[in-house]
Amino acid sequence: MTALTDKVAIVTGGASGIGRATALLFARQGAAVVVADIDAAGAVAVAEEIGNEGGRAVAVEADVAAEADCARAVRTAVETFGGLHVLFNNAGIIRRTTALDLSADEWDRVMAVNVRSVFLMCKHAIPAMKDGGSIVNTGSGWGLKGGGNAISYCASKAAVVNMTRALAIDHAKAGIRVNSVNPGDTDTPMLRDEARQLSEDWAAFAADAADRPMGRAGSPDEIAQAVLFLASDAASYVTGAALVVDGGGLA
């Protein structure tokens, strides 16, 4: 037996970074995985990687800001693998600007991808979790404190953290646990793109240890391990929690 034997999981943003690492780990731990991403080719590549390791996975092209796509991801889990037990709401985007340089459309898109998506995925997934389940939402250290040049992102991730608590209360009696995982800087394509948006050299950006007592960025695998804990029965009495995985940054 492994942590997710006989479980079916959806991972949004599963084509890259934290989502990819988690999809691979979930599959190694026995789950059948729906890899949902707006990047169709990337999702297929991860599903194939899982298949090549002897795991079970299917890719779904989905924009998590669109309700029909969220519903389709859930339907795919149920129709392909016979149910749904774990949902990792992880897809997210960031704009590294102050309020002055952000358009209203950009604000709306960040909110749609980071916040509306969690609502929509939960709305469609919870009724499919007939035997209870575990939902993990990706917040951020910047959902728990402020951050510079990222007003829409900070607002969106604070919403994810508190929406998680509200969902946990509403669905506890149905046996559905809902928690957030809150990474600090993690070495993914998103973080490298942030360095580019800020016109900062990656090496200097990554070496900036002011925010990080451990003096390094995390790896996607280190976040995935925390997600696995929350997703599995090892966390059977954990719900509504905001688990911080940031090398001590928030401390």
CB of 12 closer than 8 Å to CB of 121: yes
Residues numbered 176 to 215 that lie near ligand NAD (CB under 6 A) are: 183, 185-186, 188-191
Residues numbered 91 to 130 that lie near ligand NAD (CB under 6 A) are: 91-94, 113
Q: Report in angstroms how near the CB of residue 156 gets to ligand NAD at its nearest.
A: 8
Whether 153 sits among the annotated catalytic residues: the reply is yes
Is residue 22 close enough to count as binding ligand NAD by CB under 6 A?
A: no
Q: Toward ligand NAD, which CB reaches closer, 4 or 15? A: 15
Q: Toward ligand NAD, which CB reaches closer, 71 or 190? A: 190
Is residue 243 close enough to count as binding ligand NAD by CB under 6 A?
A: no
CB of 9 closer than 8 Å to CB of 26: yes
CB of 19 closer than 8 Å to CB of 45: no
Q: Toward ligand NAD, which CB reaches closer, 189 or 215? A: 189
Give the contact letters, 47-66, x = binds to ligand NAD (CB under 6 A), - = no. Answer: ---------------xxxx-
Element (H, E) at 24: helix 17-28
Q: Report in angstroms how near the CB of residue 216 gets to ligand NAD at its nearest.
A: 12
Give the contact letters, 134-173, x = binds to ligand NAD (CB under 6 A), - = no. Answer: ----x-x---------------------------------
CB of 60 closer than 8 Å to CB of 15: no
149 CB burial (10 A radius; 0-12, 13-18, 19+):
middle
Q: What is the 3-state secondary structure (H, E, C) of 184-218?
A: CCECCHHHHHHHHHCCCCHHHHHHCCCCCCCCCCE
Q: Catalytic pick from 15, 140, 153, 154?
A: 153
Binding region for ligand NAD (CB under 6 A) out of 11-19, 24-32, 47-55, 202-210: 11-19
Sheet strands side by side (includes 8-12): 56-61, 32-37, 8-12, 86-89, 133-138, 176-183, 242-245
3-state secondary structure of 126: helix
Q: Toward ligand NAD, which CB reaches closer, 174 or 207? A: 207
Is residue 9 close enough to count as binding ligand NAD by CB under 6 A?
A: no
Q: Toward ligand NAD, which CB reaches closer, 51 or 189? A: 189
Q: Which residues 6+ apart lie within 8 Å of 81 measured at CB? A: 8, 32, 34, 56, 58
Catalytic residue positions? Answer: 153
